[in-house]
Amino acid sequence: MTVAYRESKANYSGIKPDIYEIIDLETVERDLYNILSDSKGCVREMCSHIMSAGGKRIRPLLVMCCGLVFSPQSPELVHAASAAELIHMASLVHDDIIDESCMRRSRPSINKLWGNHFAVLCGDYLFAKAFGILAQDRLLKSMSYMVEAVQSMCRGEISQAHDRHSTRVNMKRYYERISEKTAIFLKCCCMSGAAAAGADIRSLEAVGEYGLNLGLAFQIVDDILDFCGNADIMGKPKGEDLCQGNITIPIVLLQKNHKYAEWINGVIQGRAYPENVMDEVLKALEDSGAIADSFRAAGRHISKAKTSLKALPASKYTELLFRLTDIVKSRIK
């Protein structure tokens, strides 16, 4: 399992290998392996499949880093990091059922290989494992944050499904959704790590603010890249979100422009797109300044995330959290 993880690290664009030297994610990886090692039969095969697919491990990275700002590495902190990744894994397995996805991390998804039946149970099993490990270590605050993250992701997924092909997604609703879907989980990871390391309330709030804004920036950049990223790197065709009726910040901004509003609303509501419409949408997003404005929105959250870090004690871990914001930013260059 560890080998596949090492390979996946090398593939992750943006996060430099030296970050993984500062933060001991190998220990988290071993811990995840141990936690899942008591599973049997088909559950074990599914867990093994998920583990060996690797991943960025961004959530355990945040848990670890935000904990290490306050205390040296402890088994509890490592468990808090593993729990965050288990919850992330569980949500991915369930997401793939929801989206009827056949692929995940360049491999067939659990639902594709084992069917929806086992995929539902596999996700439930991973959720239970995550809460089990936190209960075992009496990490009550971390547990409350992880509960908040799961509830929030559920709400976000449901909002997204409700808003599909809707022209009524405004900036408030978009922010609500990306907070629920992505940013609150990152916020909760940061707070879980800091809480497991005994941080005070003021510091907890600061790392929470950092995680939330990092998450918002990350999702906004992702939503921009959906339109103007390299299709090969992104692994999906340009404008895939819009095709699926998922209305993101560049489109919300384009709707505000009188010149394009009526036209883009027609595109949003249509479920079958005329040929080349995506090229026109991309041109409109560039010409109207919607892409540039989206960049600026991401930049504001990066700045807010950086400002939050000023409340933390200076350390190489605080420095690393600072660098992580620049990595998010560098994806849009």
Which CB atom, from 29 or from 157, has the smaller least distance to its own copies? 157
User: Is residue 157 at the binding interface for its own copies, with CB under 8 A as the rule?
Assistant: yes
Cα–Cα distance measured from residue 220 to residue 295, given in angstroms and rounded to the nearest whole number:
8
Which CB atom, from 127 or from 260, has the smaller least distance to its own copies? 127
Tell me which amino acid residue 59 is: R
Which CB atom, from 8 or from 159, has the smaller least distance to its own copies? 159
Residue 304 CB, shortest distance to its own copies, in Å, is 26
Give residues 17-56 in contact with its own copies (rule: CB under 8 A).
40-43
How far apart, in Å, do the first and last CA atoms of the chain sit?
Answer: 33
User: Is residue 234 at the binding interface for its own copies, with CB under 8 A as the rule?
Assistant: no
Which CB atom, from 21 or from 38, has the smaller least distance to its own copies? 38
Contacts by residues 32-37 (CB-CB < 8 Å, ≥ 24 positions apart):
32/82, 32/85, 32/86, 33/1, 33/2, 35/82, 35/86, 35/129, 35/133, 36/129
What mask of x and - would describe binding to its own copies in positions 115 to 154, judged by CB under 8 A? -xxx-xxxxxx-xxx-xx--xx-x-x--xx--xx-xx-xx
- Nearest residue to 183 via CA among 205, 206, 209, 164: 209
Which CB atom, from 9 or from 129, has the smaller least distance to its own copies? 129
Single out the residue of 10, 161, 231, 233 in contact with its own copies (rule: CB under 8 A).
Answer: 161
Residue 90 CB, shortest distance to its own copies, in Å, is 8
Residue 120 CB, shortest distance to its own copies, in Å, is 5
Which CB atom, from 88 or from 329, has the smaller least distance to its own copies? 88
Helix H, strand E, coil C: the string for 200-233 is: CHHHHHHHHHHHHHHHHHHHHHHHHHHHHCCHHH
Which range, of 69-77, 87-95, 223-231, 312-320, touches its own copies by CB under 8 A?
A: 87-95
Single out the residue of 97, 189, 206, 298 in contact with its own copies (rule: CB under 8 A).
Answer: 97
Assigned token pair, 273 = 């797109």
Contact assessment for residue 192 and residue 76, using Cβ atoms and an 8 Å cutoff: no
Residue 207 CB, shortest distance to its own copies, in Å, is 19
Residue 306 CB, shortest distance to its own copies, in Å, is 31
Using CB under 8 A as the binding criterion, the count of chain residues that bind its own copies stands at: 41
Residue 142 CB, shortest distance to its own copies, in Å, is 9
Which range, of 62-70, 157-165, 261-269, 281-289, touches its own copies by CB under 8 A?
A: 157-165
Residue 167 CB, shortest distance to its own copies, in Å, is 19
Which CB atom, from 66 or from 93, has the smaller least distance to its own copies? 93
User: Is residue 175 at the binding interface for its own copies, with CB under 8 A as the rule?
Assistant: no
Interface positions with its own copies (CB under 8 A): 40-43, 90-91, 94, 97-98, 116-118, 120-125, 127-129, 131-132, 135-136, 138, 140, 143-144, 147-148, 150-151, 153-155, 157-159, 161-162
